[in-house]
Every structure is written in C-alpha cells, then in structure tokens.
A and B are shown apart, each in its own frame.
Chain A
Amino acid sequence: MGLTSLVKGVGLKKYFPVRGSFFKKVKAVDGVDIEIAKGETFGVVGETGSGKSTLGRLLLRLIEPTAGRIYFDGKDITKMKGEALKRFRRNAQMVFQDPHTSLNPRLTIAEILLEPLREHGIIVDDPEAFLVEQLEMVGLGKQHLYRYPHELSGGQKQRVAILRAILLKPKFVVLDEPTSALDVSVQAQILNMLKDLQKKFNMTYMFISHDLGVVKYMSNKIAVMYLGKFMEIADADEIFEKPLHPYTKVLFSSIPIPDPKIARSRKRLRILGEPPSPINLPPGCRFHPRCPYVMDRCRREEPPMIEVEPKHYVTCWLYVKK
C-alpha cells in the first residue's frame, strides 16, 4: 500500500438485484482495483452502463459494496459505521451531475450551506460574514446568500453545490460529471475554478465523465471503464498519445474533435453493435463481441490487467506474451 495513496479500492464489486429474478444481477462494478494518490486527479471515462458513477459512490460508501475493500488514508472503511463513518464523510464529499436537483428547492442557499457545518458541530462566530467569504471563493456574492435555488442559473447552482462539498475542507472529492449539464462557456469557468480550489486546499479528486476532452484537461491519470471493469489505466497524456486497449482506441476515434480537417481525415475505427446490458455479460473478455481485434482466447477467458509499459496498464489478451 503506497504511502502517498489516499484512496484505495481492492476487488470492488457491486451487484444490484434484478426485479423478478433471484439469480440475475446487474453487475454494475465487477472487480475494480483503484488507487488514487494524494493531490492527484484520477479521471474515469466510460459510457452508460460502464459503472463509473457506481464506482464513485462505492468509494464514498454511499452504496455498500457487494465485495471488496475500501481504504481511506490508510484505514479500512469498508464496514465503518456510526460516528467513525460520519467523520469519514467530513473528509470525502461528492459533487453531483445535475445542479437543478442536487439542491433542496425549499431551502435558501444560506440554509443549504449551514447544514453541513451544523451537522459536524462546526461553530462560526459570524455565520453570515463567513458564508459571504466562502461564496466569494466560488465566484458568487452576498446577493445569492438568501435566495432559493430556482432563482439561480445552472452554473451558479453548480458553484453552490461545489462550495457545499468543499465547505468542510475534505481531503477527497468525487466529481460525477460536474459540468455535463452546463453550457460550454460556463463549463470552462467551472473547470478552471475546480482546478484552483484543488490547489488551494490540497484536495484529491476523482473526476468522472464521458467527455474525453474535459477528462484530459482535468486529470493526471485516466482509467477507461467498460461494463464494470477498468480496461486501461495510464497517465492522461500517455493514454491519448498511445491508447492500447481496442475499446480505448474505438472510444477515442469516436469522440467529436472540434477541428474539421482532423475530424474528416482521421480513420474512424468502427465499433460493432450496441453496448450490452450489465446483466448478461458475455463470457471471456467482456468487450469481445464488439472488438475489431477479437481472438479465440478472448471468447473463452477473461484477460488479466497487465502493466504493458511503466505505469500503463491494459486488460487485453493482445498484450499478454505467451
């Protein structure tokens, strides 16, 4: 266990029961090992059904893992309860995707922000002045303090949600598609703000998104997730320059590039079919039915995760030397 690793997940699995069936399960997360170093931003990309949101929630114990262990700052928090769990919550927070539903519509911004402070027993001399100071940190002002969420724009709401998450100065923040619901111009503002705040408060981020451009901008390390497992993990620059896993290659060649010359001249790796459901996983490598490089072995056995190059891991038979 690395000395600088803040968050660690070992063999994490989360299966959801399927209505009407005893044996069938939705295998949202199916065996993930993850290690996030202090101060880094770990990006997780994947499409719907990849399990990336579930993974984020597992690390925060918002959902209970079906199997596996979670470590935070050296301690095993998998089964933590009660006061200890509450103390953990102070240090690990989440920013949700939709700013319009993540704030209680019946509370004013002031009430929303005071709640975590009150819950964790933090007493402030002058609450109003304190909150105004905090609001200015995220680009808002006193005039927003006593308003209701519906009086704010999407971008402003998301700033409040971010402030709420970092109010307790957590060590670890999971950002689940924090800008997907926002316009391009607002997105840029929020992303820059997140970077500044991270530096200022020395926080560790897990950044979940389906937008590869955004993930690359924010992350130090990126993991590509497919049907509940990591297919490839590498440093952000490395993975874009040298994608190794076939799924990664397909993914990267499908993303829209804001440059017409490149977009039209690049070779698009065609992927076959639709993403399968996490209930009926294919045997062997879970990507094999859609893989352009599928081999016989892929259909039978699940490949292990191998360090193909220093700090570059791939789960694919193509890179396993016999």
Chain B
Amino acid sequence: MTLVKTVEETLEEGLVLKVRGLDVRFYTYAGVVKAVSGVSFEVREKEFVALVGETGCGKTVTTRALTRLIDPPGRIVAGSVLFRRKNGTVVDLLKVPDEVLREIRGNEIAYIFQDPSSALDPLYTAGYHIVETLIAHNKKVKRSEAVREAIRLLKEVLIPHPEVRVKNYPHELSGGMRQRVVIATAVANKPKLLIADEPTTNLDVTVQAQILDLLKEVQSRYSMSVILITHNLGVVADVADRVYVMYAGKIVESADVFTIFEKPMHPYTRMLLRAVPNPLKKIEKLESIPGTVPNLINPPPGCRFHPRCPYAKNECMREEPPTIEVERGHYVSCWLYHRR
C-alpha cells in the first residue's frame, strides 16, 4: 500500500533502526504496569547490539514492540520506530498499515526466540518451516526451488546431513539443532535486522558457544544487523559491538562493548558487573546489589534505581535523570554525571 507520508525525524545514513520515546504499558487487574518508559536507541548497519538487563527490565517487551507484537492487555502508548527497508524507504513501524507490517515481519525483520522447542511446530518438518517462510514472502518461488534452498540453509547453519535432516521433525532433533533450524528459518529471506531473544539461555555451554559463533557467522555473511537480548554478561562480551543496559523499563547506559566493561559509569552497570562471578579471577566475596527490582506499577519517583543506589542524592529521588553523553558514543542516565 502507501508509504508513510511524513516522518517526524529522519533516519540518518548508516542507521537501520531508530527508536525514540518508546512507551509500552500493560493494563492488568493489579494496575497499570509501565513496562517500557521512554526508551530510545539505534542500530547501525551490520551492527551487533546487545540489550542487557535482568528479569522485568523490559528488554523483551521493547523488542516485541518494534514490530507491534504486543497483545492486550499491553499497549504501545507512544514512540516512533524508524526502519530502513530493503528498498531503501524509511517507515515508522508503529504507524504503517498491517499489511506492510506483515510484509516486513519474517522478510526484513526476523525473530529468534528463547525456546527452540516451542518455536517450531511439532507437526511439521524442519524443512517445512523454512520452505513456508520462503514461499510466504516470495510469491514466484517454486516449491522445489524452496526445498533446495532449505537444504542449502541447513548446510550453512552447520547441520550435518542436511538432505536427511530437512525431513526430520523437531522431536527428532536435539536442542542445539533445533535452534539452528530456527536460525535458518530466520535468515531464509535475508532480513536486514535479526532480533534474537535469549537464543542460548536454554542450551548447554558448549552448544551455546557453537550457536553464538553461528550467529556471528551468519551476521557477517548476510551483512545483517542483530539485536541480541540477554542477561548473561559473558555472552555480551563475546559477541556484541554495542551494549544497551536496561533497568526497570529504561535504558540506563549505552556504549561500545569494550567501554562498558572497562569504564562502566552507571552505578547499576558497575554493580552488575561486580555481581557476576568471573571464573578467571580470584574472588573473595561477590558483591551483591541490595534490595529487589522495583514494582513497575508504582515505580520509585525520580531515578528508578535510587532505592538501591549507594550514591543516591536528593535530586535522584525527585527527578528522573537526563541522558548525558559522558564521552563519544557513551551515554549514561545518572545525576552523578550531570554538570549544572
């Protein structure tokens, strides 16, 4: 159908995705959960972005909201998601008509979810999943061609004997192999953006390493951008180019991966890094973060982290901190770094 006419902000060169002021709320019996409040971030071409945070920080909801995959009682209340399509046009994913969104999903933006067992329909073969997505987005493709492409993709994701495996049902495949099939399905249409939600959390350590390697392989081969959601800082250190740290529905810090680990600025990021036991270091005592994640129905006033922050000042309790660029490409949301 028609393209979106006016775009309030423009999408700069080199950016694939630009999110501004995303606000998602859930209207439950207990109250209104402000799951995501004023989230803004960007993804560049061929960039591997990690969205890090603990349970309930809003990282999953954010990525679902990008393609309007939020069901009631959730609602996207505000924000804009600018996306550069394969044909070069720029659209706001939150405002395009449904048919356009369906074209984009699976074709230009693909998802990989946490549990490969439930992502695959147990009644259909591995090959069928791939063929189905190919045909759905390429009307002219013949079935036999699609099957050949499916076998080629399975080979690419390093599944041995792909000609045999293409006919296997999910229950005949191991966890690692299922995740590879899911990845093959996701990249079948060569999307511009791949969103992977905790893709390795349920897998063994050795398999996890293989899958992460595969994701990096696939990303460089297809020149894709990837948004990876995880709570595991080790995974982030391994594969990410850029890191966004989320807490209680907001982004508290963002920087490139080396900076985040070497020079974390936000108190939460610092404490989080110190709470992860690094097997290569000798640790006398793990530092823990006192308190618990706040209730998002009535989040704390001001900075949402202040009840647990050892550096909390008066202004932290009153006003939400602005996002400050402490150095090139390194942004923090904290009053500690605000020069009045």
> Does residue A261 face the partner (Cβ distance < 8 Å to B)?
yes
**A192→B234 contact, CB < 8 A:** no
Given A155-B292, A192-B288, answer yes or no on A187-B234 (Cβ-Cβ < 8 Å). no
Whether B234 contacts A257 by the Cβ 8 Å rule is: yes
**Does any Cβ of A come within 8 Å of B55's Cβ?**
yes
Give the chain B neighbours of A252 by CB distance below 8 A: 279
The chain A residue with its CB closest to the CB of B53 is A183
Question: Given A183, A216, A264, which contacts B279 in the complex, CB threshold below 8 Å?
Answer: A216
CA distance A212 to B287 in the complex (A): 17
Max chain A Cβ within 10 angstroms of own Cβ: one of B55, B206, B234, B235: B206
| Cβ contacts under 8 Å, A211 to chain B | 277
Q: Establish whether residues B286 and A48, one from each chain, have CB atoms under 8 Å apart when the complex forms.
A: no
Residue in A47, A183, A213 whose CB lies within 8 Å of B206: A47
How many whole Å from B273's CB to the nearest CB in chain A? 7
Q: A15 to B258, alpha carbons, bound, how many Å?
A: 48
Binary flags per residue of B58-70, CB closer than 8 Å to A gives 1, else 0: 0000000000000
- Shortest CB-to-CB span from B317 to chain A, Å, is 21
Q: Does B28 contact A (CB under 8 A)?
A: no
In the complex, how many angstroms separate the beta carbon of B257 from the nearest chain A beta carbon? 5
Contact with B along A181-198 (1 / 0, CB 8 A): 001111111011000000
Contact B286 A240 (CB under 8 A): no
A189 touches B235 (CB 8 A): no
State which of A4-12, A71-79, A160-168, A268-276 sits at the interface with chain B: A268-276
Chain A residues with CB under 8 A of B220? none
Q: Which B237-274 residues have C-beta < 8 A from chain A? A: 237-238, 257-258, 261, 271-273
Contacts A183-B293, A258-B234, A260-B257 given: A47-B275 contact, CB under 8 Å? no
Assess whether A318 is interfacial by the CB under 8 Å rule: no
Tell me whether B238 and A263 are in contact (CB under 8 A). Answer: yes
Count A-B contacts at CB 8 Å.
123
With beta carbons under 8 angstroms apart, the residue of B206, B237, B271 that contacts A260 is B237
- The contact of B208 among A183, A254, A259, A275, by CB within 8 Å, is A254
A274 to chain B, nearest CB (A): 5
- A250 interface residue (CB < 8 Å to B): yes
| Contact B286–A185 (Cβ < 8 Å) | no
Pairwise interchain contact B280-A257, C-beta atoms closer than 8 A:
yes
Bound Cα distance A210, B238 (Å): 18
Q: Which residues of B contact A212 (CB under 8 A)?
A: 205, 279
CB distance from A252 to the nearest CB of B (A): 8
Residues of B within 8 A of A187 (CB): 275
Residues of B within 8 A of A192 (CB): 285-286, 288
Q: Are A237 and B258 in contact (CB under 8 A)?
A: no
- Known contacts A184-B231, A191-B286: does B276 contact A254 (CB below 8 Å)? no
Quick check: is B77 within 8 A (CB to CB) of the other chain?
no
Contact residues of B with A, CB < 8 Å? 54-55, 160, 174, 176-177, 204-210, 213, 231-238, 257-258, 261, 271-273, 275-280, 282-283, 285-290, 292-293
Additional pairs, 6, CB under 8 Å, beyond known A185-B271, A240-B280, A263-B237: A210-B204, A254-B205, A255-B234, A257-B238, A258-B278, A271-B210
The 13 listed contacts between A and B (C-beta, < 8 Å) are: A183-B231, A212-B279, A213-B277, A213-B278, A254-B206, A256-B208, A257-B237, A257-B279, A258-B233, A258-B237, A260-B238, A271-B209, A275-B207
Chain A positions within 8 Å of B, measured between CB atoms, are 47-48, 153-155, 183-189, 191-192, 210-214, 216-217, 237, 240, 250-252, 254-264, 268, 271, 273-275
